[in-house]
Structure formats: C-alpha cells, structure tokens
Chain A
Amino acid sequence: MEPFKTITSLAAPLDRVNVDTDQIIPKQFLKRIERSGYGEFLFFDWRRLQEGPNAGDPDPSFTLNDPRYKGAKILIAGKNFGCGSSREHAAWALSDFGFRAVIAPSFADIFFSNAGKNGIVLIRLSEEDVALLLNRAATTQNYELTVSLEAQTITDGLTGDERFHATFEIDPFRKFCLIEGLDDIGLTLRHAVALDTYETKHDQANWLKPRPAA
C-alpha cells in the first residue's frame, strides 16, 4: 500500500448523496480475477450518455468527463458515500483512476474499511463544509485542496477570510497505517502467540464450529 503523506490536488465535485458501489463500479466488471485495471470502469454508466443518438459516448455533464477536473486526486461527494455492495472493486477503481482522498459528510462502513486498505483517505466533514467545497470546486477554476493526514487538516489556496481551513477526525491507528502504508495481515500476525493460545481454547467450543467434530 502506498504511504499517504500530504497531497495538494484539484478537487472534483460529485454532488450526489448515497453514491452506491454499484454506481462506482457496475457489476459487469466484477467478473475479472485481477486486482488492477478498474480505473477505466469507474462510474461507468454515469460517465456515458444512456439515451439518444450518441448513447455510449462520454456524457459532458458528468464531473469526471470535465477537462477541468482531469488529474484530480480528491473527490468531494454527498452523504453515505460507498453504500451498498461490499465489492472492494469500488476502492480499486477509485484508486486506479487516481483518487487518494474522498471528502463527504459520511461513508458506509464496509466501503470505509475497503478504502483504508487501498491507501484512500476518507475525510468526514460537516454537511455545511462539504456543501461549501462542492460549490467552490464547481465554480472556481483550478480549485485545489491540500490534505495533510499528519496534521489532519484540509485547506484550499484562497487567501484572507475566504480561505477554507478545516480539521478532521481519524482513528489514530488507521492514520498510522495509512501514513506508513502498512499491511494489515502482518500487523495481526504480531499477535500470533495470543492467537494460537486463543484458538486452542476456542476450538473446544464445538457449538461454534461450522461442522461437528469428527
């Protein structure tokens, strides 16, 4: 996992609530057995015109098709981002497309976990702050945000009273793992002795076994 330090990048606004993982990566791309290459399928249906003579062509009204946001590493969205299916392909697609951070008022639990395991920082801000950032990203040319995970801050490049500055909460252990780019399995295996001890005892609980003891 790529360690996350501080990023300064264009921010793309996706002003929708309840963005579900079926939209982030539709089902037809879940049949692949690889872990990479999902970026081109990110928001597959939303990026394309669904009707009319040019159906299938890029929909110019969709944020990620707007050349203004090309190369954006930060996505801003409405509440409950990543709800629905547990497919980690959603995190893989966002990461492969180039996103390193998503800002929203709230995130769904499973997506939250999947994003962290792929080096994507999820930042919860208030509804008001997110509304402000969505508006600025939509109306300001080359609107950039700086996310510092170390300092837990988000700032924009405006000056004076206009300058956006917010702090965000993150679980300290999650922060540590993101900054160091740590492998979870390796971290758990630090507790191998405790696990062996626990498991030996736990295995005596036959009523918690999938199949009866032979």
Chain B
Amino acid sequence: MSNTPKTLFEKVWEQHVVVEPAGEPTILYVDLHLIHEVTSPQAFEGLRLTGRTVRRPDRCVATVDHNVPTTLAERFNIVDQIAAKQISTLRENCKEFGIELFDIGSREQGIVHVIGPELGITKPGMTIVCGDSHTSTHGAFGALAFGIGTSEVEHVLATQTLPQSRPKTFRIAVEGELPKGVTAKDIVLAIIGQIGTDGATGHVIEYAGSAIRSLSMEGRMTICNMSIEAGARAGMIAPDETTFAYLKGRRYSPKGEAWESAVAEWNKLPSDPGAKFDRELIIDAATLAPYVSWGTSPGMVAPITSAVPNPADAQTEGERRAFERALEYMDLKAGTLLENINVDRVFIGSCTNSRIEDLRAAAHIAKGHHVSTHVSAMVVPGSQAVKDQAEQEGLDLVFKEAGFDWREPGCSMCLGMNPDILSPGERCASTSNRNFEGRQGRGGRTHLVSPEMAAAAAIAGHFVDVRNWSEIAETAEAN
C-alpha cells in the first residue's frame, strides 16, 4: 500500500471495488439502493422476465414521492389512474421481493432524498444509488451517491453492483464568510452559473472551504443536490462534527459502541492533505449574492441586483441562440431588472429545499405578512417527518396565516407528475432545481431561487433582494 494522499472520493471508491476486470469497467459495490415508483417498474419486470431476484433486499429502501398528490383528499384516492397503477405496482413489487416500503400514510414517507438522511439510512462512506438524478444529495454526508437509469436499477437489484468507469475529481472550495441573506442555494446557483450545466461532466465534485464547512447538513444537501445541474456524476462533502451531530440518534444510525466505531471510520474519510484533484476552483464567498434564474437552463442565473442579460453579449453563437430562445420562452426582455419581474405562483419544496431549515427560513420571511393578491403560493414539506416537525414548531400556522397553501409531502411541482402544475404562461418563483421548458407544467416559466427569496417574492408579488427584506416588508405593508 502506498501512502499517496487520497481524496474523499478515492477512499470511498476504493473501498467498494469488487473487481477490476482488465479492459472493462470496475464492478462497484452498492451499499444502499433507494427506490421510488417512477423508475423501478420496468426494472422489477426485467427481473421477472429473466428469472432473477433481488440479491440484497436489506440494502434497499423504497418510498413513493414523484406521483403522490399533496392534498389529503386526493392522497388516498388518486384520480390519475395511470399514476395510481404505478404506485400500486411499487407496492406489489416491494411485497414480492421483500423490500421495505414507506408508503403513503406512513410517518416515514417523503421525497426519497429527504427520508434517507432523516432516518439515518444515509451514512458517510457509503455508495448510494437511486433511479433519480438528484441522488447526488446524499453526498452531503460524504457518501458517493449518484443517479442511475432503469436498466441500472435492474442491475443493482440483481447484483448489488454496477459496472462503472472511474470519474475524475473536481474540488470546488468556497472560502470566507457568506454575506447575510446568501444561502446554500445561492452558492450552488453561482457555481452552476460559473462553470455551466456541463461544467463538471464526468467528474465527482468535492465541495470544500470554510463557507461549506459553516453550512448545516440541510444546506450541504442543497448544494450536493444540484451537482447534477452542473453535469457532475456526484457531489461530496467531507463528514465532520456537523455530520455526526445530525446523524446521532436517528432511527437507523448506529448506537452505543457501534456509533463510536462508525465515527472512527467516518473520521478517516476526509481528503488527505496534499491529495490531488483533476480540477480545482476557488470561489470567494464574499462575492456571492442571492441569485435568480432567468432562463431555461440552471446555468442561466444572475444576482438579484442585475438585469436579464442581452443575447448579444453571449460568448458563442450557440449560446446566443440558446439565450434568445430562453428569453422568448420565458417572455422576458433583455435589460429588464430581475426585481421588476412579477410572479404568479410560488413553490417552496422539492428535494433541493424542503427540509425543516428551509421551511424555517421561508417562515421567518413570511411571518406577519401576506401573500400578494395576484400570487398563489404553496409549501410542500419534503417528508411526513418534516411536516410533523414544522407543525410542532407552528410553522404551518405562520404559512397559513400568510396565505400559503400548506400541503402533504412529495416531489409535487418540482416536476409536476402529480396534480400540482403550472398553467401555460404562469411564472413561478420555485425553490426546486430545474427551470427547463415545461418542467413545472407545459408552458410554465420557472425561476429558481432560495426559500427566503421565494417567500419574499410571494409577499411582494415580484422578485426582491431578500437582503433588504425589513425595509421592503415595511413598504409592502404600507401599500
């Protein structure tokens, strides 16, 4: 064994190499396979067709999140029969193959990337996969976690492994103190804006630096979650005391002596001093501001204080045409101040920003104010546990009194597979992760923002700089 310094990624990768056949991809062991209703039915069917079975049901966890309605009335009586069939298919598959399912109505149900961490299933050093690109979320714990397609879901079910070629490494250090009003969401939007939506293709990002270390686990999850929006295979953050404090005492966290020995292992994971990365980028936290996306790709972002950019200023011809097409779709004119863009809808939720800290931050802005008369706003907690916690803290009342709809947990309007969608032409301030054309509903226009920025936009009726919220709120009240 050499003493070459290793990165966090290399340590996790090497521990999971089953075999490295010459001239072929590495066979990588998977510690945890998360399963949901949308990307799994064809995989289970594939097992049946080939006479295979699930190798390790104990390393699988399933829930329903993408299709579930977020109103109590519809939840247990799903109108969309195709969605209902997909959910019942997951139930049958979990039963047939002995996989634990957190179903609608259970206290553990929620967005797959919210419940893994909150139940203590997600742990540092693990390899985690799921048929969902936002699996990168779990990297916040120092796990190697990435999204896979349905053929790969079937492969993991059958073998508990995946053939993988080794990705490159990319260290992004955010150094310094985050300015007031600037959140984890703004950090990741700034990174995607800077490196582009294909800026990290083929790489695993390790986020480091003092600004990252200062974040809570919720904030770290927001950042790792959107790694895929920069094209990265995965995002990771080294585990530390913040990680351990979050995990301690959770249902599936180790207890007693097992906890002590787990922490000892987890403490070995951070990148060694001098470890080499294929690429590095340093960002000065002091230069960051609250961001708003203005286009139809998550790289099309700008600080709230700026204006919609002019396609003529694009760097390349391809980019110029993409800008023009985005502005046409978004019905925006170059030079319009972001603060002058009105919104019709506000969505606070998704695997990016639906955890308790996100809801606390949004409620803090909303408290004592009221949603603008021309805005319809909804809050969708990421899980039943987040919803219960928020209700214990009285956040539901803050939201309801302010005129927000308070919903049941699920993916909801992040991708609109359930009844929560935008109508054509509607403009939405959203805490989700993708502003693609039609993502939240055909013809809908999505602007990605932090929970604070979304709540402030709901109340003001247009985007505002949340750093000036106390003055803005006074004016809004006076009107």
A residues at B contact (CB < 8 Å): 15-18, 20, 22-23, 26-28, 30-35, 45, 50, 78-80, 83-88, 91, 106, 108-110, 113-114, 117-118, 127, 171-173, 184-185, 187-189, 191, 194-195, 198-199, 202, 205-213
Contact = CB atoms under 8 A, between A and B. Distances in A.
B335 interface: no
17 contacts: A26-B438, A35-B150, A80-B197, A83-B231, A85-B133, A86-B131, A88-B39, A88-B151, A109-B233, A185-B50, A185-B158, A198-B18, A199-B160, A205-B15, A206-B254, A206-B262, A211-B252
B252 A28 contact: no
Closest 9 CB pairs of A and B: A88-B149, A114-B149, A33-B41, A207-B262, A117-B151, A86-B147, A80-B198, A86-B133, A88-B150
A32 B85 CA distance: 8
Contact of A23 (B125, B416, B437): B437
A35 B233 CA distance: 25
A207 B160 contact: no
Given A108-B231, A109-B233, A202-B29, A27 B415 contact: yes
A191 B150 CA distance: 22
B70 to A, nearest CB: 16
Interface in B14-53: 15-16, 18-19, 21, 23-25, 27, 29, 31-32, 38-39, 41-42, 45-46, 50, 52
Contacts of A191: 18-19, 21, 27
Contacts, number: 205
B198 A210 contact: no
Contacts of B32: 210
Given A32-B82, A33-B85, A189-B159, A87 B121 contact: no
Interface size class of B (residues with CB under 8 A): 35 or more
B442 interface: yes
Q: Identify the interface centre among A32, A33, A195: most chain B CB within 10 Å of its CB.
A: A33
Nearest to B25: A173
B342 interface: no
A182 to B, nearest CB: 11
A6 to B, nearest CB: 23
A149 B249 CA distance: 54
Interface string B215-250: 000000000000010010100000000000000000
Interface string B44-79: 011000101000001101000011000000000000
Given A27-B439, A33-B42, 18 more contacts: A18-B197, A22-B415, A22-B439, A31-B80, A33-B89, A80-B198, A108-B231, A117-B151, A172-B23, A185-B159, A189-B158, A191-B19, A194-B18, A195-B160, A198-B29, A205-B265, A209-B31, A210-B58
A10 B125 CA distance: 48
B198 A22 contact: no
Interface of B: 15-16, 18-19, 21, 23-25, 27, 29, 31-32, 38-39, 41-42, 45-46, 50, 52, 58-59, 61, 66-67, 80, 82-83, 85-86, 89, 121, 123, 125-126, 131-133, 146-152, 154-155, 158-161, 163, 165, 197-198, 201-202, 228, 231, 233, 252-255, 258, 261-262, 265-266, 297, 318-319, 321-322, 325, 415-417, 424, 434, 436-439, 442-443
Given A30-B38, A207-B123, A187 B163 contact: yes
Given A83-B197, A188-B161, A35 B133 contact: no
B82 A31 contact: yes
Nearest to A107: B201
A86 B146 CA distance: 10
